[in-house]
Amino acid sequence: MSESTLWAPWRIGYILGNDSGKEDGCLFCRLHAEKEDRSNLILKRTEYSFAMLNRYPYSSGHLLVLPLSHIADLDELKDKAFIDLMLLLKKSIEVIKQAMQPGGINAGLNMGAAAGAGIAEHLHFHVVPRWAGDHNFMPVIADTMVMPQHLDSTYEMLKPFFDKSS
């Protein structure tokens, strides 16, 4: 059997804890405040919310949809912010369907660390496009995910769809 190498250099920051939300303050608040949408993978901003690519995706096209407010629980959102967040979540799912034509989509949120939220202090929805056979044996035997598309390519594919939306 020949040995093969799977290169995923963007994961080293996550592994070392340099780019995983383990910083002082809130990662999501910082990314939004920086106004560096391309480098921070932010695809869309609305009055109360924003959508961005997940830097450590489960699948190509994995998005995060977040309120601007630094809150941990859905109950804390005011009505206008809640509606804005839900509309952006809906738009994000529409964009994924149009741009990537997945066989299905997982969409949801994990509120609290016990529910699996990696950054529990800032509420965020996950939108994960799925295809038949998109995950193989690698996560099971090697604790490794294989991403067939680079984040930069995914950003370039999705951004025009978000730009067309109001």
Give the residue numbers annotated as catalytic, written as ranges: 124
And the tokens for 90? Answer: 């809906």
| DSSP-assigned beta bridge partners for residue 106 | 128
DSSP codes joined into one string, 71-125: -SSGGGS-HHHHHHHHHHHHHHHHHHHHHH--SEEEEEE--SGGGT-TTTTS--E
66 burial via Cβ count (<10 Å: 0-12, 13-18, 19+): buried
Q: What percent of the chain is helix, strand and coil (3-state, nearest 5)?
A: 40, 15, 45
